[in-house]
Structure 1
């Protein structure tokens, strides 16, 4: 089994190729450049370096959000196109779960991956490893980082915060949680696409045509359109 994993849900661009239980290759960058231009060349280069043809792939796994609306949409669109054209299964994985898995395997406590959502808000969830398996303790959600930190003080264990955006909210979280809040190092901040492939390896496939991203909230333009449309009907 050869699995291609694609993550363009945030600034980091991640591509991985997994064969059974071996990571054949990974490509990761964390730069503010257009994913729509870079992702296909990255996939082509990785497959070429790993002596793999598209026809050799047996599954596509994609980070389905939350995250950047444009980034999530790019990754999902490419994943759906590849899965449909190659006639192979497609699986979507929470982008937050990928972030949690990228540095939390050996942490004895809860994991809180964070993506900044502006205006003091974060996309986050609560995870932990149990018997070697990543478990979702609190579902992915959007809320104020202040409120999230206050909620987490009720947990009986330390919390490991992960992700490049964690630094944006670090001071406020530490002011509320004190030593209960632990932050991963900079080499653990980027979500690893190999972890994405591993999580999605045994998950049930999606219906390629019905599969959609998980934005958690509507884009601002969509919200305004719905508001205007509602006014016109009144």
Structure 2
């Protein structure tokens, strides 16, 4: 079945203290848009009103899919964004696409200056790093995984970087910890690419990607659920 040529994908990024929302048009004739808010501990209370204010001039009925950053990052933030995306996907009968926070950082870097090999890192605290390596093919605008995202000790991550830097291809290191705003537009764009390719992804498939044991019960994802979107 062919995809509709009109509509929007909503991007949600909550894995840092800064909330990011984005709208990605299906049609190239419309302008994408995004906005961020530094909310810290107010993220859970502020997400829904910020989303309701951000959505116009589009309506809930204009959405054809949802992309959400699933982590790694803040445990609470990752869980919050995934819960909201799952609830919206279920309530609106829309596909939901989980996007790695590291992949979003890689793609955001590529959009400003295309490079072929990227190592993306985030400070995971406790002397550890979240890290992954991606290769970008400019001819096809495709991002592929070279080294899957995982939790690294500082020494093992540095060893991995040294190994990659010894290769002929130049390596770009992207440190997401230093960025003020989350790459929410990249989340929406990567979700759109999955949507446009016909990839099927339902709300029930999407879970937070912590990469280390979170200090919560895994059942906490189910409660409490955010309110369902209002009818247009």
- Common topology (TM > 0.5): yes
Aligned residues: 200
Instruction: Note if 1:113 corresponds to 2:120.
Output: yes
| Off by >6 Å, runs of 4+ in structure 1 | none
Q: CA deviation at 1:57?
A: 1.0
**Of the two, which has the highest radius of gyration?**
1
Give the aligned partner of residue 214 of structure 1. 209
C-alpha distance after superposition, 1:48-69 (max 9, x if no partner) = 2xx1111221111111111111
Give the aligned partner of residue 155 of structure 2. 146
Q: CA deviation at 1:141?
A: 0.5
CA shift in 2, pair 1:69/1:151, >3 Å: same
1:27 and 1:42 in contact (8 A); partners too? no
1:163 and 1:191 in contact (8 A); partners too? no
1:14 and 1:193 in contact (8 A); partners too? yes
CA shift in 2, pair 1:23/1:217, >3 Å: farther
Give the aligned partner of residue 197 of structure 1. 188
2:65 and 2:94 in contact (8 A); partners too? yes
RCO higher in 1 or 2 (8 Å CA, sep ≥ 6)?
A: 2
Distance in 1 separating the partners of 2:38 and 2:107: 18
C-alpha distance after superposition, 1:182-227 (max 9, x if no partner) = xxxx6xx63321211111113223232343111122114559xxxx
Distance in 2 separating the partners of 1:197 and 1:84: 18
Instruction: Note if 1:28 corresponds to 2:36.
Output: yes
2:13 and 2:68 in contact (8 A); partners too? yes
Structure 2 portions without partners, runs of 5+: 1-6, 219-232
CA shift in 2, pair 1:205/1:92, >3 Å: farther
Task: Give the structure-2-normalised TM-score.
Answer: 0.78
Give the aligned partner of residue 16 of structure 2. 10
1:12 and 1:190 in contact (8 A); partners too? yes
Report the 3-state secondary structure (helix = DSSP H, G, I; strand = E; otherwise coil) of the residue aligned with 2:40.
coil
Distance in 2 separating the partners of 1:194 and 1:103: 12
Distance in 1 separating the partners of 2:172 and 2:38: 21
C-alpha distance after superposition, 1:5-55 (max 9, x if no partner) = 10101223110011123443201234534221222222112112xx11112
Task: Give the structure-1-normalised TM-score.
Answer: 0.77
